[in-house]
Amino acid sequence: MSERRDHYSYTFYADAANAQSFDARRFGGPIGDLVAKGQADVLADMLGPVQGRRIIDVGTGTGRGAFLLASAGAQVAGIDASEQMLAIARERAVATGAPIDFQVGDAHQIAFGARSFDLAVSLRVLMHTPRWRQCIGELCRVASHGVVLDYPSATSTALLQSIGRRLLHPLGRSSEPYRVFTGGQIRRELESHGFRITSIHRQFVLPIAVHKTIGSRAFTETSERWLAKLGLLRLFGSPVTVYAERG
């Protein structure tokens, strides 16, 4: 089935200006740096040593996850539907000498054979895809051992932001009207492909937008530590990253 190429997940990231500002918007400033460090720590904790392992980064964007994995010794392929995002990733690969195979590709139909990779990673992608179940199926198909993916939780404040964006998007506001998920939805879909979740990580209780507005790493670390002690992270933390193993 062909994809709706007018869907925002294709058009937004195909815009050269959005591609150029992507890293600054997501990982800029003290809180963006904290988010990036958290992402790196979670990958390292969940995957363990990756030296020599074959890993595909699906929806790689400008390649941040792919570079983290390659620097740890993995053999990495990164795919993305946006040529504009991949152009940035390829420039960085040339500049750093990172041996990463960046290719144009779609998360709904990954152009590799079954179990071509040891691990499949897809971060901040599922929330934007037109057919998320098909994307999970593809991640599971190409991974011989494990899958890492993340999603905004339906029990977090991300639900309110998602609703707001969905209301504003038809009015012409430039936004990404993403979806949210319950843990049960993700677990059942992975299990339908023979994968079982073995590790879960929740990042923030307060919205990332709030932390970025305040702009204080000390506030973020202190407030989130106390909220976690109160048990709120386990209930309302988002985004949620999961690692699932085959069988």
pLDDT at 1 over 50: no
Residue 151 near residue 127, CB atoms below 8 Å: yes
Residues sharing a CB contact under 8 Å with residue 243, sequence separation 6 or more, in sequence order: 46, 47, 146, 147, 148, 197, 198, 199, 200
Mean of all residue pLDDT scores within the chain: 92
The predicted pLDDT at position 169 comes to: 66
Three-class SS state of 75: strand
DSSP string across 50-63: -TT-EEEEET-TTS
Q: Does residue 220 sit within a domain?
A: no
The predicted pLDDT at position 4 comes to: 63
pLDDT at 195 over 70: yes
Q: How many domains does the chain have?
A: 1
The predicted pLDDT at position 172 comes to: 66
Asked which of 129-143, 170-184, 193-207, 222-236 is least confident by mean pLDDT, the reply is 170-184
Asked which of 102-106, 157-161, 205-209, 233-237 is least confident by mean pLDDT, the reply is 157-161
Give the residue among 40, 240, 28, 33 at the shortest CA–CA distance from 149.
240
Q: Does residue 142 sit within a domain?
A: yes
Give the residue among 61, 122, 56, 70 at the shortest CA–CA distance from 99.
70
Q: Does residue 42 sit within a domain?
A: yes
Give the residue among 45, 75, 53, 36 at the shortest CA–CA distance from 198.
45
User: How does residue 174 score in pLDDT terms, banded at 50, 70 and 90?
Assistant: low
Q: Does residue 128 sit within a domain?
A: yes
- Rounded to an integer, the average pLDDT of 23-39 is 90
DSSP label at residue 111: S
- Rounded to an integer, the average pLDDT of 146-162 is 92
Q: Does residue 233 sit within a domain?
A: no
CATH number at residue 75: 3.40.50.150
Q: Does residue 234 sit within a domain?
A: no
Q: Does residue 229 sit within a domain?
A: no
The predicted pLDDT at position 16 comes to: 87
Asked which of 64-68, 129-133, 185-189, 206-210 is least confident by mean pLDDT, the reply is 206-210
CA–CA gap between residue 80 and residue 30 (Å, rounded): 27
99-113 burial: b if 16+ Cβ within 10 Å, else e: ebebeebbbbebebe
pTM of the predicted model, to two decimals? Answer: 0.92
User: How does residue 175 score in pLDDT terms, banded at 50, 70 and 90?
Assistant: low
Structural domain boundaries, residue 53: 8-153+175-203+239-246
The predicted pLDDT at position 77 comes to: 98
pLDDT at 138 over 50: yes
CA–CA gap between residue 159 and residue 200 (Å, rounded): 19
Give the residue among 115, 152, 107 at the shortest CA–CA distance from 134.
107
As a whole-number percent, the residues of the chain with pLDDT over 90 amount to 77
User: How does residue 159 score in pLDDT terms, banded at 50, 70 and 90?
Assistant: confident
pLDDT at 201 over 90: yes
pLDDT at 3 over 70: no
Q: Does residue 94 sit within a domain?
A: yes
- Rounded to an integer, the average pLDDT of 205-230 is 95
